[in-house]
Every structure is written in structure tokens, then in C-alpha cells.
Amino acid sequence: MAVKDIYKELSDEELMDLVKKSDSNAFSAIYDRYAKMTLNFFYKMLWKDREKSEDFVQDLFMKIVNKPELYNSSRPFKTWLFSVANNMCKNEYRKAEVRVSAAPEIFASAITKSSNTGDKKIDKDAFIGELDEALKEMDQVKRSTFIMRFKQGLSIKEISEVLECSQGTVKSRIFYTIKHLNKKLGHFKNIACLTLLLNTLI
């Protein structure tokens, strides 16, 4: 088995133990696992600014390679990583003094034509635009919770560890967001189907 393949078999936590020992191959393996995922997270959280998102990914992994001791091995690496990423976004919001808009792709992919021939095709662009506006009204915590769940695929348990709150609190935030979106976007056809889809994923 090649060296790189051996590292692929290691857990995140095992890799971080090696990163702390200045193992560059272990760091590369961690980067390969999470660079794209964290880029997508930053992109959704940081006003869809690709350049800024790429800079944040670089900063995030610079923190890991320069100060790996910051990672507390008693926590799952994935939740620790998103905790750091989420805090970076919060700091950026404070600096910018504005709120970010994010549009989880799960909504766009869920929109389809109605089976009734008399129904018109939903204007996806209009839907996404109004979704952006609706999410602007949500506070940063609810927005980041929503993105981590439906875009990044984190479990309720993982999100609760990232945000340091109970799983019940995470669920209530997601339900509140769904209710808010259902109210704001209720004039779109198939919104009831979207709500059902989201509820089944929680």
C-alpha cells in the first residue's frame, strides 16, 4: 500500500496527532478531506464571495498547520473544525456589520414541475432570489445551523457540538427556519413538498 493510501485509512483524530508531530503527509490528508467542504461552507456564509472564501480556507488551514496544538483531541476533529470556521465567519460579520445571505442548494434541486399539465414551471431564479432575501432576515446562528445541516450534511449531534448547544436547540432552530421560509415563500408551488423533504432530513 502506498504511503498516501495508508494516511487515507487513518481517522481525522489520528491524522491530527501526526500533524502535531509535523507530519506533512498527515496534514495533506486532512486538507484533502476538508478543503472543499470548508470552501463550500465559507462560500455560503460569506456573501458568495469566492475569493474571500478561498482566503478563509487558506487561513483556516494555516491555523491548523501552524498551531495544531489548538485542536483538543477530546473533541471530534470535524466538529472542532467547523467551530473554528463558524467563529471566523462571526468575526467577519462583526467587521462588516452586515448579515450574509445563503441559499442552500437543496431547495433548488427539490423544485420540479408539477405533474399537472396546467401548472407552470417554477421560476428557479426567482425562487432562489427570494430565498436569499428570506434568509437575510434570519440571525447568524440560525443561518449557519441551516447551512451546516442541509448543505454540509452535518448531523444534529455534530451541529450541537459545533455551536455548543443542545440537540433540541438545534432542531428548534431548524424548525423555526423552515417555518419562516414556508411563510415567506408560500406563494411558490411545491413549497409544501420542500417543507416535508426538510422535515424528513432532520
Tens-digit pLDDT profile for residues 151-162: 788 888 999 999
Show Cβ contacts of residue 70 under 8 Å, excluding neighbours closer than 6 positions. 63
Show Cβ contacts of residue 68 under 8 Å, excluding neighbours closer than 6 positions. 16, 19, 20
- Domain holding 56: CATH number? 1.10.1740.10
State residue 78's pLDDT score.
95
Q: For residue 108, what is its C-alpha cell?
A: 433548488
pTM of the model: 0.63
Give the model confidence (pLDDT) of 99-115 as tens digits: 333 334 444 444 443 34
Domain boundary (96, 122, 139) is at 96
Q: Single out the residue of 10, 24, 30 nearest to residue 71, CA to CA.
A: 30
3-state DSSP: the chain helix, strand, coil percent, rounded to 5? 70, 0, 30
Residues 144 and 188 in one domain: yes
* Percentage, residues of the chain above pLDDT 90: 37
- Domain holding 177: CATH number? 1.10.10.10
Residues 68 and 148 in one domain: no
Residue with cell 496534514: 27
Nearest-angstrom CA–CA distance, 69 and 63: 10
Count of domains for the chain: 2
Residues 154 and 80 in one domain: no
Asked if 75 and 161 touch (Cβ cutoff 8 Å), the reply is yes
Q: Which residue has the higher pLDDT, 178 or 15?
A: 15
> Which domain does 133 fall in, by range?
105-201
Residues 72 and 111 in one domain: no
**Average pLDDT over every residue of 169-187:** 79
DSSP 31-76: HHHHHHHHHHHHHHHTTT-HHHHHHHHHHHHHHHHH-GGGS-TTS-
Residues 78 and 122 in one domain: no
Residues 143 and 59 in one domain: no
